[in-house]
Amino acid sequence: MRGIKLSDRQEKIIEIVKENEPITSEAIAKRLKLTRATLRPDLSILTMSGILDARPKVGYFYSGKSDINIFRDKIESIKVGEIKSLPTVVDEETSVYDAIVTLFIDDVGSIFVTSDGYLTGIISRKDLLKSAIGGVDIEKVPVAVIMSRMPNIVYLEEKESVLEAAVKIIEHEFDSLPIVEINTDSTEDKKFKVVGKISKTNITKLFVDLGIEN
């Protein structure tokens, strides 16, 4: 699958080039019953993206190598376990006040909540702000009262790709997601051990590194 959305005409151009390479723009235009001027933007897009290769006085060849496609394949091959960072974790019994302090000391957007070492909830800056201004006794109320609970938590496993992580972060509008190991006990209940996190910052840094590398 290509990394860019092509028009029907561009798809037709590609098929013509595949079947008749090398082929000139004049010949392509004749087959489509269009003018060269009409095709010029389409041919520019296809050559700049790397799908077609243009050689002066020879014509167009099909290469199928899109820079966008290559980049997509690269981020699909990188797993979140490779770029994960340390998660900020508190116990369910931690007070809202202490959670706020932790959030600002670690400078994070979300805190993951555990009980007996396993993930049970997540708290965002918004959750803590609502509590702080909502008349809650933040020094006495535990985070378990205000957190979002399982199964309403979006998470990742280390084997998932960075692309999958980016899609989940965008779709659910989160700053970060927990990376977990899933354990099943004798009752077949799933337990989620937090082993890391992936954030917008992780992904942005990766994109910058890939850009510099290329």
Identify whether 53 is part of a domain: yes
Tokens found for residue 18: 């595949």
Identify whether 3 is part of a domain: no
pLDDT digits (tens, 9 = 90+) for 166-176: 888 888 888 89
Tokens found for residue 213: 């590398």
**Interval 128-151 mean pLDDT:** 90
Q: What is the mean pLDDT of the chain?
A: 87
Identify whether 152 is part of a domain: yes
pLDDT digits (tens, 9 = 90+) for 1-50: 344 567 889 999 999 999 999 999 999 999 999 998 889 888 887 887 77
Identify whether 1 is part of a domain: no
Examine the domain organization and report whether 93 and 59 are in the same domain: no
Angle at 84 between CA 81 and CA 88, to 5 degrees: 130
pLDDT digits (tens, 9 = 90+) for 88-132: 999 999 999 999 999 999 999 999 999 999 999 999 999 999 988
Q: Is the pLDDT of residue 194 over 90?
A: yes
Tokens found for residue 200: 């917008």
Q: Is the distance from CB of 142 to CB of 96 less than 8 angstroms?
A: yes
Comparing 69 with 1, the larger pLDDT belongs to: 69
Comparing 115 with 67, the larger pLDDT belongs to: 115
pLDDT given for residue 75 in this prediction: 78
Examine the domain organization and report whether 45 and 145 are in the same domain: no
Examine the domain organization and report whether 96 and 201 are in the same domain: yes
Alpha-carbon torsion (47, 50, 55, 61), positive or negative: negative
Q: Is the distance from CB of 109 to CB of 176 less than 8 angstroms?
A: yes
Q: Is the distance from CB of 144 to CB of 93 less than 8 angstroms?
A: yes
Q: Domain containing 65: what range?
A: 8-75
The total number of structural domains in the chain stands at 2
Tokens found for residue 188: 């077949």
pLDDT given for residue 188 in this prediction: 63
